[in-house]
Amino acid sequence: MQDLAFLPRLIEALGPDVVATEPDQVAPWLADWRGLYRGNAQAVVRPRSVDEVARCLALCQQAAVPVVPRGGNTGLCGGAAPDSSPANVVLSMDRMNAIRSIDTIANTLIAEAGCILGNLRRAAQEAHRLLPLSLAAEDSCQIGGNLATNAGGVNVVRYGMTRELVLGVEAVLPNGEIFHGLRALRKDNTGYDLKQLLIGSEGTLGVITAAALRLFPRTDARSVVLAAVASPLQALELFELLFAQCGARLQAFEFFTGDCVDLVLKHAEGVQEPFSQRYPAYVLVELADTTDEAALNVLLERVIGEALERELCLDAAVSASLSQLQSLWKLREEISEAQRADGPHLKHDVSLPIEQIPAFMVSMEARLKAISPSIRPFIFGHFGDGNLHYNLSRPAGAQRDWTAQHGKALTAEVLDEVARYGGSISAEHGIGQLKRDDFLRLKDPLELRMMRGIKQLLDPAGIMNPGKLL
Amino acid sequence: MQDLAFLPRLIEALGPDVVATEPDQVAPWLADWRGLYRGNAQAVVRPRSVDEVARCLALCQQAAVPVVPRGGNTGLCGGAAPDSSPANVVLSMDRMNAIRSIDTIANTLIAEAGCILGNLRRAAQEAHRLLPLSLAAEDSCQIGGNLATNAGGVNVVRYGMTRELVLGVEAVLPNGEIFHGLRALRKDNTGYDLKQLLIGSEGTLGVITAAALRLFPRTDARSVVLAAVASPLQALELFELLFAQCGARLQAFEFFTGDCVDLVLKHAEGVQEPFSQRYPAYVLVELADTTDEAALNVLLERVIGEALERELCLDAAVSASLSQLQSLWKLREEISEAQRADGPHLKHDVSLPIEQIPAFMVSMEARLKAISPSIRPFIFGHFGDGNLHYNLSRPAGAQRDWTAQHGKALTAEVLDEVARYGGSISAEHGIGQLKRDDFLRLKDPLELRMMRGIKQLLDPAGIMNPGKLL
């Protein structure tokens, strides 16, 4: 039953500047950016402070109104789009976008949830420090959303996921209480680490309003090689060699198939064929260091020389300038956009025990081709973390509604195969709406029960982001 | 009310080899190693498998029997010693000491909870990998205890706390259910990260039976400098310089006062006066890398040269050989033992926002000297993490029961001052029994309520490690 006094109370508490209710004001906040999900909402709330977030949540809980927290809306699983209930309130963090502090002695950056990741990266850079979280959507996504989904990206192999970069969190719990966990201490062993529950919870336990993040020394010395490999097995052997010999300098180890290069050369501008022939697959390796680019180049050339000699790769192109480095990276960075330009496709963000990737690639392809012989897999990802974006494009000549017709069954095939290898059905994109059924089907029943217990404990009224994750 | 059928049922379920009940068998398991805490127990259980742990906990929960998990008993806060209840069961993990796997491709090590940390470090070393967790008790402590207390140590500045090294956890919940979270995936964004609750929970939520740990490339190239500094402020400036210029090579940044050196030279064997004069304080810096020790030495000498020129330190001794490196480290490593030999003292393991350390050191000493003018502080610790071991020895001529008479009041002074600076009253040692009152007094009430809610959720019968932490 709808509480008719709720909206007037909310507007009175926060003001008409913060609460928008007109249909044309609300409409832009109802869908995810890919257009896969569209829902309803009675209002969009855009608070300017943690206190306004707290007042909003307290009123929503009292009236049992569902709350959908929203960051930059760059998620791939529909986690920030409201469901069909007309009672929803979308809570956008975009106005809470202040950097509260940058400390180059403690090496911490404290930012409000609505800060754009790219802006934080540049602010750290100007302070001669590195915020290593880096991903394709960095100039649109917000740091609060990065925490809520425990975002990954290209530098995880060296610096870890978002979780590993977080020292403290400020958040508002569903009852409007403020969780003052914005400590920037490197070490604090005083009880359960509660912020870990909020990180990766996809807005289902509360609203993250600010984060204390770790900064690192700038790694301005960079050296990149594109290595051609015959197979995922060869990529794996190359990874083992680089990991042991380059240590902490190994900043990225990205994999993509020759088919991905075809796609990029067809759809993207300003990219070049990297070698005189097409190879089955490629690995893009970046080493980075605080100092001495010449030494870094020498190291990379020596290790790649050894790899060529030991037949751990087929060919290699080392960057001799910044522009070469950037054009090698472009081959990898343009894959998603090229695939979008190519037409409808299914995305699968999965991870595997890294040594299982070669076997998985063989059995997965066989399984899919048995169902759909001309299906076109485009496989790329953060190989060094065991993370593949195992994407499937519709076969040539298939109908436009191919994803609607076959998507669910093909996705189930992929995720079941991943589970069979002990992998994860979501490496870095989360669950949201997209993977919820598969998550509930495949997750260990005890873990599901524990998660539901925690959800019930922190959000007894069940107002936080309904229909997502759990 | 005691359930008289409990012990026979436990022995029937696990066998007399696993369950010891004779007073002389039980006696060695009732105290912590420092002798600060001694309690009671009706039995000691030493399971050989996760299934035996599960059967034990299920029976204990049915009979409402308290369970005290025990690792290597090297904790400093009495977390593994039973309280006074004669109903306690001590659950020792020492027989579960198998390394289940070492994988040099995935770079993971899976070990049972009872494995001695030093043995795991050596096993990794033999496999040409590094397990970076390293601390004074490493040849006695068990990895399960390291996880349960989120142990720190000397390499946190580079590799993080135990929490950051853990990929997966196997555990038994208080009702005997097995938590199958022993995944070795680098990325897994499928719901709340439940293992984070068990890490650092000090045995109050369940029993960790195995862990999947991250391995790193071996860093056999090492270079060490002992720098003399005039003050903590100078140490801070030196840290800033080294952090920015040496990047990930900065493996340790340890601080100790001149008084600590006096103590070590007095009590330890085979240590030498490092300089021709005594300085107010010292910083021990270690750089480490996978390769090229010569380049590492050049880098360290260049940066220390700059520090001397810019007056960020007073003097410096660089290790020119492994034996010199080891004797420089000995000055730091022998402090705890020298202080023990020196007599009764109070230990405080605290952390601070690193840039507050200089101000804290001044105001803390003034506060203590106002109460006890001849108190002797011996301050050392992992300065790079903001972690100080702020220890207090009794004044010359004070009575032997000085710690009993003045300990509680002095400790309250130290911890209150730490809280005033936004620090943590336990950086890496945990809460246990020792800091429980201070923890309950100083922790944010909302966080305490959340922790109690989680405790109630996972351990509704309240059998796990009563009297510790919460």
pLDDT tens, residue by residue, B313-361: 999 999 888 899 999 999 999 999 999 899 889 999 999 999 999 999 9
- Provide, as residue numbers in chain B, all residues whose Cβ is less than 8 Å from the Cβ of A448: 191
So what's the pLDDT on residue B267?
Answer: 95
3-class DSSP assignment, residue B361: helix
Number of H helices, E strands in chain A: 17, 19
Give DSSP secondary structure letters for A301-327.
Answer: HHHHHHHHHTTS-SEEEE--SHHHHHH
For A:104-163, CB contacts with B below 8 A are 104-107, 128, 149-150, 152, 156, 160-161, 163
Q: In what order do the strands lie in the sheet with B19-20?
A: B19-20, B43-45, B89-92, B67-70
Cβ distance of A194 and B161 shorter than 8 Å: no
A–B interface: beta-carbon pairs under 8 A: 254
For A:37-76, CB contacts with B below 8 A are none
Query: Cα(first)–Cα(last) distance of chain B, in Å?
Result: 23
Give me the residue from A180, A184, A299 closest to B353, CB to CB.
A184
Residues B274 and B331: their CA atoms lie apart, in Å, by 9
**Nearest-neighbour CA in chain B from A20: distance (Å):** 31
Cβ distance of B243 and A291 shorter than 8 Å: no
Cβ distance of A443 and B191 shorter than 8 Å: yes
Instruction: Give the pLDDT band of residue B386 (cuts 50, 70, 90).
Output: very high
Q: Give the residue from B192, B243, B254, B470 with the most A CB atoms within 10 Å of its CB, the best one to mutate.
A: B192
Cβ neighbors of B343 (< 8 A, separation 6 or more) are: B393, B394
Q: What is the mean predicted confidence (pLDDT) over B235-256?
A: 95
Model ipTM value: 0.96
So what's the pLDDT on residue A1?
Answer: 53
Does the pLDDT at position B396 exceed 90?
no
Q: Which residue has the tokens 């000090």?
A: B202
Does the pLDDT at position B183 exceed 80?
yes
Q: CB contact, 8 Å: A247 with chain B?
A: yes
* Structural domains of chain B, ranges and CATH numbers in brackets: 99-217 (3.30.465.10), 221-336 (3.30.70.2190), 343-428 (3.30.70.2740)
For B:380-409, CB contacts with A below 8 A are 382, 385-387
What's A75's DSSP letter? -
pLDDT in tens, chain A (470 residues): 567 899 999 999 999 999 999 999 999 999 999 899 999 999 999 999 999 999 999 999 999 999 999 999 999 999 999 999 999 999 999 999 999 999 999 999 999 999 999 999 999 999 999 999 999 899 999 999 999 999 999 999 999 999 999 999 999 999 999 999 999 999 999 999 999 999 999 999 999 999 999 999 999 999 999 999 999 999 999 999 999 999 899 999 999 999 999 999 999 998 999 999 999 999 999 999 998 899 999 999 999 999 999 999 999 999 888 899 999 999 999 999 999 899 889 999 999 999 999 999 999 999 999 999 999 999 999 999 999 999 999 998 888 889 889 999 999 999 999 999 999 999 999 999 999 999 999 999 999 999 999 999 999 999 999 999 99
In A357-446, where do the E strands start and end?
Answer: 376-381, 387-393
Q: What is the mean predicted confidence (pLDDT) over B5-12?
A: 97
Instruction: Give the pLDDT band of residue B1 (cuts 50, 70, 90).
Output: low
Cβ distance of A246 and B439 shorter than 8 Å: no
Q: What is the mean predicted confidence (pLDDT) over B463-468?
A: 98
- Provide, as residue numbers in chain A, all residues whose Cβ is less than 8 Å from the Cβ of B163: 193
A315 close to A244: Cβ distance less than 8 angstroms: no
Minimal Cα distance from A177: which residue of B?
Answer: B446
Q: CB contact, 8 Å: B437 with chain A?
A: no
Q: Give the residue from A186, A218, A436, A454 with the most B CB atoms within 10 Å of its CB, the best one to mutate.
A: A186
Q: CB contact, 8 Å: B452 with chain A?
A: no
Average pLDDT of chain B is 95
For residue B446 the two structure tokens come to 């909302």
Q: Is B388 left (phi over 0), alpha (psi -120 to 50) or beta?
A: beta
Give the ranges where A50-113 is alpha helix by DSSP (H). 50-62
So what's the pLDDT on residue B2?
Answer: 67
Residues B423 and A207: their CA atoms lie apart, in Å, by 25
Q: CB contact, 8 Å: B193 with chain A?
A: yes
A229 close to A280: Cβ distance less than 8 angstroms: yes
So what's the pLDDT on residue A397?
Answer: 87
